[in-house]
Structure 1
Amino acid sequence: MSLQENRVVVVTGASRGAGKGIALALGGLGATVYVTGRTINEGDADLPGTVAATADEISRRGGNGIAVVCDHGDDRQVQALFARVEREQGRLDILVNNALLVPEGLVDHGPFWQKPLALQDILNVGMRSSYVASYYAAPLLVKNGEGLVVNTSSFGGRCYMHGPAYGAGKAAVDKMAHDMAVDFKPYNVAVISLWMGLLKTERTQRVFDAEPELYADMEAGAESPEFSGLVIDALAKDPQRMQRSGKIWVGAELGSEYGVVDINGKQPPSHRSMLGDPTSYNPAVIE
C-alpha cells in the first residue's frame, strides 16, 4: 500500500534545520504535519525559527501545519504530543525522529575530554528521544495497519565525525531503526535510518556567509533541508517500502533511485566514497 492520501505526520525538532525542511516538504504535498520544538518566540534561540513559523509556512503551502511546543527531554510532554495526535486525528502515518540537541562546542577541534562534558546531552535529545517518540507513536502506527518511521542520521554513524558523543548518537539511531523494524514488521510499519548529507541549514548558512570564498564548493554541493522530506515522500509512496525497512539509506542515493531532485533541480551527491558505506547488520533475531 502507499501512504499518499490525507497523511498525518509528526516531525520532531522542526523549528529550524532539517526538521523544518522535512516538515515543509511533506506539508507542501498536502499533509497534516505536527511540528515540534522548544522555540516559541523569534529571538529565544541563537538561530532563527520557531515552531509556529514552521507550521504557518506549511499551511501557506497548502498543508495543515500544527505547532506543538515540546521538550523532547521530557517524556511526559512527548506522551502528551501523541495523545493529542490520537485525539485530533485518530491516526498517524509517518513519524520523523529528528529532534537533536546541538550542544556548544560540538564542532570544536580537540579530543573529547577537552570539550564540555555537556556534549553527551546529545545522547538524550537525539538518541533517547527517538526511542521515546517511537514508543508513544507505535500504537497509532500499528492501528493504521501501515506506516513509516524515519530516523534522521548521518555518515557520523560510521566514521569519526565531531567526536564520540555525536558518533554514538548517530550509530544508536541507526541500530534502533534496524531493531524496531523487527518488531514493527508484522504490522506493516517500515523503519529506516536516513543519512543526510551536508545541509544548507540556518547554522551552516551562517558559516558559509562568514567565509564565502572558503566554503563556496561546500555550499554548492549542500542539500536543502527540504530534499530529505521529498525523499521521505517518495519512500512513503513506494508500495515496496517494507523491503527497505530495517536498513540505513543514503538520502542522495535513495533520491536518485526514486528520481527525486533537490529544490534547485539538481541531484545531491552521495558522500559514500569519502565517508563510508552504511552499516550492515546481521539478520539473526534473538528474543
Structure 2
Amino acid sequence: MWRQGVGESVRMEHGRVVVVTGASRGAGRGIALALGASGATVYVTGRTANDGDSGLPGSVNSTAAEVSARGGVGVPVVLDHADDKAVAALFERVGDENDGFLDILVNNALTLPDALTGKGPFWSKPLSLTDLFDVGMRSTYVASHFAAPLLVHRGSGLIVNTSSFGGACYMHGPAYGAGKAAVDKLAHDMAVDFRPHDVAVISLWMGLLLTERTRAAFADHPDAYAGLAANAESPEFVGRV
C-alpha cells in the first residue's frame, strides 16, 4: 500500500499524476505526450521496452523520455496488461510514489491481431481475434479496479477509456465492435459507482489517427487508402481534448 507522505513533493512540483496504458505508440503515446506538455507526471505502460524491440516504431522508454523533454515527468513501465498481478503492482507503485493519489487513468491498452482488418466474415478468421477482449475490454476493467482506491483517496479524478464509433456500427467485425461497445458500457456503469466520490469516467471516441500502424498501412496500400491520410488526426489531438 502507499506510504503516507511519500511523493508529496512530486505532486506539488509536477502537477497531475497520470497513468496511460498502451503508450508505446499510437493514441497512447500521443495522449502521454500531450499530458507531459501540461506538466503532468505520466506513468507510461506497454510491452515494448526499447525502440527496435517491435516491428513498429515506439517504446515505453522513448515515450517516457519525450514526456520529460516536454516538461512533464515520464515514468516508463514495461507491462503486459494481460497480467493482473503486474497491473496490481503498477498501481501499488503509483500509490507509494505519490502519497496514495492518482488524478487520471487513461485505458488505452489494446491487442490488435493482424487478422483484424482482413477480408471475409468473422468465421473465416482465427479465434485469436478474441485476444482483444483480454487486452482491451478486460484490461480496462482490471486497471480501473486497481486505480479506484487511489482516485477515491484523491476525492476527484478522471478515467478515460479510448474507444471509437466501432461500438455503434460495423467496423472490423463483431469482435472489435463488441470490445468497443463493452468499454463504452464500462465507462457508463463505473461512472455510477464513482459518482459519490467525484470521479468522472468517460469513453472517448477517436477518429482516424495518423499512428505508426496507420502510416505503415498507408505506405503498403496507397491506392486502398487514398485520401484518408489527409483527414487523419495527430495522435496528440486526443490528448488535448
Within 5 A, what are the aligned runs for 1:119-268? 119-212=129-222, 214-231=224-241
Asked whether 1:52 is paired with 2:61, we answer yes
Q: Percent identity?
A: 70
The amino acid across from 1:148 in the alignment is: L
1:12 aligns with 2:21: yes
Instruction: Tell me what 2:40 maps to.
Output: 31
Structure 1 gaps of 5+ residues are 232-287
Q: Could you give the per-residue CA deviations for residues 119-147 of structure 1, whole angstroms, max 9, x where no partner exists?
A: 00000000000000000000000011100
Give the distance between the partners of 1:157 and 1:214, measured in 2 at CA: 24
Q: For 1:45, what is the secondary structure of its paired residue? A: coil
Aligned to 2:7: none
Residue deviations 1:42-73 (CA, integer Å, cap 9, x gap): 22222111100000000011110000011100
1 CA distance for matches of 2:139 and 2:207? 22
Count residues in correspondence: 227
- Which residue in the other structure is 1:237 paired with? none
In structure 2, how many angstroms separate the alpha carbons of the residues matched to 1:38 and 1:213? 32
Q: Secondary structure at the match of 1:105?
A: helix
Residue in 1 that maps onto 2:96: 87
Which residue of the other structure, out of 122, 139, 158, is the alignment partner of 1:112?
Answer: 122
Displacement, 1:211?
4.1
Could you say which residue in structure 2 is the equivalent of 1:276? none
Q: Which moved more, 1:61-70 or 1:203-212?
A: 203-212
Q: 1:192 to 1:50 in 2, by over 3 A?
A: same
- Structure 1 residue 118 displacement after superposition: 0.2
Q: TM-score, normalised by structure 2?
A: 0.92
Counterparts of 2:129 and 2:87, CA distance in 1: 22
Give the unaligned 5+ runs of structure 2.
1-13
Amino acid at match of 2:180: K
Contact between 2:50 and 2:62, CA under 8 Å: does it hold in 1?
Answer: no
Q: Deviations over 1:140-182 (max 9, x none)?
A: 0001110000000001100011111111100000000000000
SS in 2 for 1:191: strand
Normalised to the residue count of structure 1, the TM-score between the two structures is 0.77
Distance 2:49 2:42 in 1: 17
Deviations 1:69-123 (A, max 9, x none): 1110000000000000000112100000000011120000101111111000000
Q: Aligned partners of 1:46, 1:175: CA distance in 2, in Å?
A: 33
Once the 2 structures are TM-superposed, how far is the Cα of residue 214 of structure 1 from its aligned partner?
5.0
Higher RCO (Cα < 8 Å, 6 or more apart): 2
Residue 8 of structure 2 corresponds to: none
Paired AA for residue 158 in structure 1: A
Give, in angstroms, the shift of residue 212 of structure 1: 4.1
Residue identity in the other structure for 1:78: V
Deviations 1:206-231 (A, max 9, x none): 12223446534211111111011000
Q: CA RMSD in A?
A: 1.1
Amino acid in structure 1 at the alignment position of 2:145: Y
> Would the alpha carbon gap of residues 166 and 181 (structure 1) be closer, same or farther in structure 2, given more than 3 Å must change?
same
**Counterpart in the other structure of 1:97:** 107
Q: Secondary structure at the match of 2:227?
A: helix
Instruction: Determine helix, strand or coil for the equivalent of 2:110.
Output: coil
